[in-house]
Chain A
Amino acid sequence: MSHALDGVKVLEVAAWTFVPAAGAVLADWGADVIKVEHPVMGDPQRGLIAMGIIPGGPGAVNYIIEQPNRGKRSIGLDISTEQGLALLYKLVEQSDVFLTSFLPATRQKLKIDVEHIRAIKPDIVYARGTGQGPLGPDAGKGGYDGASYWGRGGVAAALSPASLDYPIGGRAAFGDLAGGMAIAGGIAAGLFQRERTGVGPTIDVSLLGLAMWVLSPDVVASGLYGGDPMPKFDRSKSPNPLVGFYKTKDDRFVTFMLLQSDRYWPEFCEHIGHPELIADERFADAGGRFNNCVELIALLDQIFASRTYAEWCAALQTMTGVWAPVQRPSEMVDDPQVTANGYLSRVVQDGNEYDLVANPVQMNETADVLGPAPEHGQHTEEILLELGIDWDEIASGKESGAIL
């Protein structure tokens, strides 16, 4: 693991993926992250069965829990009870960061809002992940990435062709995982400010704000010129035929991003096996390719349809201009760049082995070593004993239900 946050203690009162993913990144960077879960229900994400492909029994890996919770410890506390809240406050005393996804009304009811936590630890970095932001008429409403990011955040409308009956949906936790990175970045800056000034800031990231950022070229252009002005070209009339997708003989795709097309045209022609096109007057420069784009794209479609995906990948390997195979997630696990850079990290526990994806920030060209996600409340007693709580008090908490 990275050691950038060694010694930093993070207390996470959060559920699902968005905010827990931030805790996972902080753990990757060396922080000691304690996840607080309800003693009976746990993180509701533990009950997700939508994927339907998680086998039971030994060797089962609940990947939708593992990916955003790896490297943490879990404590089972009912913080709606007096004893549970007192124990949470004891954990706050020793924490540098408080991380939550709970709604404002719930934070007030539970007495874990900014003012309650700062009353115990004035310089704590208090970080919230929300659907729509901490201010405004919908600040109190819940959010999921499928709604606040994908729907309200404009992503579905921006990505879905008009030919579809319904907008396309995102992949599991698609906005949440990016949002967790954003929260982790904010916390890192907040810890730096606290180090410099002694003041820990309140950090907010919303799924709506994240969507705005991701779509900012469209959003800014709309503000300037009205409507939804970013052009969606008919691919058969693309102004630069050297930018875009081409279909291979076996119905796969390769994509090109040859933005300075005059520079790359000769080597492109050579790599696709048609050097005679270099000097072809119709296509010899960017202006010619723009004016004759329909003809050129039709020709390139024919050329790319003549070889398989694997053949094209081999043929294009030495081209310096930027292109990419259109890979499937299942193929990325064997991508040599993924292997070389350690973008997948092997978790080994009790003879069970599986890969989790690294967070995209890498330090010192060294991949983080990832640990497994905790079981529900796995470290409850260990954490309480570290706090100086004795077995008698633990036993009384177990009796009352305040402690798992």
Chain B
Amino acid sequence: MSVKPGTKLVSAVCETQVIVVRAPADDVELGCGGAPLIGADEAPSGELDPSLGDGSLIGKRYADEELGLELLCTRGGAGTLTCNGVVLEIKGAKPLPASD
């Protein structure tokens, strides 16, 4: 699919909701829990693939730096977010080392 910043997407198989905050120019296949992410107005269907069931967390960013893709999770769920079949990593703060 072609995605642009500001697009809201939801999981077809769990509670996960995301907003696209950085989008690559190329088409990508965004998924969650093994099923493609769908528009907020589309009907959920299908079942969670247990091998992609580590979950998503509200407020976290899921990114692929090489692709230039970043999703902001606005509601957490049981499914794991993927792009082109690859699990997306959490983009966390990287505090200076040994802050204590």
Contacts and interface: CB of A to CB of B under 8 A. Distances in A.
Interface of A: 37, 40-50, 58, 349-351, 374-378, 380-381, 391, 394-395, 398, 404
Nearest to B58: A350
B93 A47 contact: yes
12 contacts: A41-B94, A42-B93, A47-B93, A50-B100, A350-B75, A375-B58, A380-B21, A381-B6, A391-B4, A394-B21, A395-B22, A398-B22
B55 interface: yes
A47 B95 contact: yes
B19 interface: yes
B39 interface: no
B56 to A, nearest CB: 9
A376 B92 contact: yes
Given A350-B58, A381-B5, 18 more contacts: A40-B93, A43-B93, A44-B95, A44-B96, A47-B93, A47-B96, A48-B99, A48-B100, A58-B55, A58-B57, A349-B58, A380-B21, A381-B72, A394-B21, A395-B5, A395-B22, A398-B22, A398-B70
A273 to B, nearest CB: 50
B44 interface: no
- B interface, size bucket: 20 to 34
B59 A46 contact: no
Contacts of A376: 92-93
Contacts of B5: 381, 391, 394-395
Interface in B47-91: 55, 57-61, 70, 72, 75-76
Main secondary structure of the interface of B (DSSP, over half): loop
Interface of B: 4-6, 15, 19, 21-22, 55, 57-61, 70, 72, 75-76, 92-97, 99-100
B33 to A, nearest CB: 14
Contacts of A41: 93-96
- Please indicate which of the listed interface residues B6, B93, B100 has the most CB atoms of chain A within 10 Å of its own CB: B93
Given A40-B93, A394-B5, A375 B59 contact: yes
A353 B49 CA distance: 26
- Please indicate which of the listed interface residues A37, A45, A391 has the most CB atoms of chain B within 10 Å of its own CB: A391
Contact of A37 (B55, B72, B93): B93
A42 B95 contact: yes
